[in-house]
Chains A and B, each alone.
Chain A
Amino acid sequence: MKHVLKIFSLLVAISGLWIGLLQASIIPRSHTWLLPIYFIVSLGCYGLLMVGVGLMGFPTCPQEALLLQQDIAEAKYFLKQRGVDVDSE
């Protein structure tokens, strides 16, 4: 099944549940009518939260840049001795 259909059927299932709730009137209708808005808002909040959490804990590696410079120097030294042209422009 194409992935968009999976998401679509999930949405259909949620709508079905919602319509069921509307019919059954377990909770007051005025509340049930607002549920889709709550759903969309919470989806947005989830997205923003995930971006925020990801941004705060974004792994960085400044030490790797230094190690790389050392590796580059080592490689240049080795290759130059063996006749490989490593003089950059």
Chain B
Amino acid sequence: MEQKKEKNKYSVIVPTYNERLNIALIVYLIFKHLRDVDFEIIVVDDGSPDGTQEVVKQLQKLYGEDRILLRPRPKKLGLGTAYIHGLKHASGNFVVIMDADLSHHPKYLPSFIKKQLETGASIVTGTRYVKGGGVHGWNLMRKLTSRGANVLAQTLLWPGVSDLTGSFRLYRKSVLEDVISSCVSKGYVFQMEMIVRASRKGYHIEEVPITFVDRVFGSSKLGGSEIVEYLKGLAYLLVTT
């Protein structure tokens, strides 16, 4: 596939919407933690009204337009298509997807890359549910729903990974292109669909522990409608994968 194994390039796709401060912080932290690696950051901004794109342009001046790519879209068009959009502009042979809100810390990127190099995996996914991983800022109810959802999914789907809805992942580019084209779900069911489909297709998936810090306490609360969406997603995956 590639000319040389050592010549890996990583494209970090970060979808944003109103993340003018966070995108600057995350770019700084990515550059801080990925020192001896060839990489690019692709910011897919969905027409944020808060000036996210202006900040990205300032960052481009600082770090170089070849390192930070701004690939905006006119309006909010959803997470799945944001990855497809970013993917079109990715020049790396590996793609990292992560959230812009700093719940995913760039300091884990080296462990994703190391794990991939050690195992030759097609996908390395971050998991919050093992030793060395964890969450911060979740109340008991949030933890309970998270555990319940996880046990349900593990029992019904046998996915082979411990954290289905996490969205901090490293993909071989060709694998991401293959998997993403068959995914139709939205929201975090989309993350689950991606990993379940990849697992069914027989791709080699490895896990690394990550921590997940909710900075705005309780911001990722789960309401009744999310639970219904989740159950519908589970049923959908049961009959289609």
- Which of A's residues lie within 8 Å of B, judged by CB? 2-4, 7, 47, 50-51, 54-55, 58-62, 64-65, 68, 71-72, 75-76, 78-79, 82-86, 88-89
Contact = CB atoms under 8 A, between A and B. Distances in A.
Contacts of B157: 3
Contact of B131 (A47, A54, A59, A64): A59
Contacts of A4: 238-239
Interface string B108-140: 000000000000000000001111111111100
B241 A2 contact: yes
B105 A84 contact: no
Contacts of A61: 133-136, 211, 213
* Residue from the set A2, A47, A75 with the largest chain B CB neighbour count within 10 Å: A75
A57 to B, nearest CB: 9
Contacts of B158: 3
Interface in B133-152: 133-138, 143-144, 147-148, 150-152
Contacts, number: 108
Contacts of A85: 20, 24, 51, 54-55, 58
A64 B213 contact: yes
Nearest to A48: B151
A3 to B, nearest CB: 5
Lowest 10 CB-CB distances: which A-B pairs, in order? A59-B134, A61-B134, A75-B28, A54-B147, A61-B211, A88-B21, A4-B238, A64-B211, A50-B151, A75-B25
Interface of B: 20-21, 24-25, 28-29, 32, 50-51, 54-55, 58-59, 61-62, 102, 105, 107, 128-138, 143-144, 147-148, 150-152, 154-158, 200, 211, 213, 215, 237-241
A65 B137 CA distance: 9
A79 B24 contact: yes
A83 B213 contact: no
Given A3-B239, A47-B151, 17 more contacts: A50-B151, A51-B144, A54-B151, A59-B130, A61-B134, A61-B211, A65-B213, A68-B213, A68-B215, A78-B28, A82-B62, A84-B55, A85-B54, A85-B55, A85-B58, A86-B55, A88-B21
B29 A84 contact: no
A68 B102 CA distance: 9
Contacts of A82: 62
B54 A7 contact: no
Given A2-B240, A60-B134, A88-B21, A55 B143 contact: yes
Nearest to B200: A3
A70 B51 CA distance: 25
Contacts of B138: 60
A15 B85 CA distance: 48
A65 B136 contact: yes
30 contacts: A2-B240, A3-B200, A3-B239, A50-B147, A50-B151, A54-B147, A55-B147, A58-B135, A58-B147, A59-B132, A59-B133, A60-B138, A61-B133, A61-B134, A61-B135, A62-B136, A64-B105, A65-B137, A65-B213, A71-B107, A72-B25, A75-B32, A76-B25, A78-B28, A79-B28, A84-B24, A84-B58, A84-B59, A85-B51, A86-B55
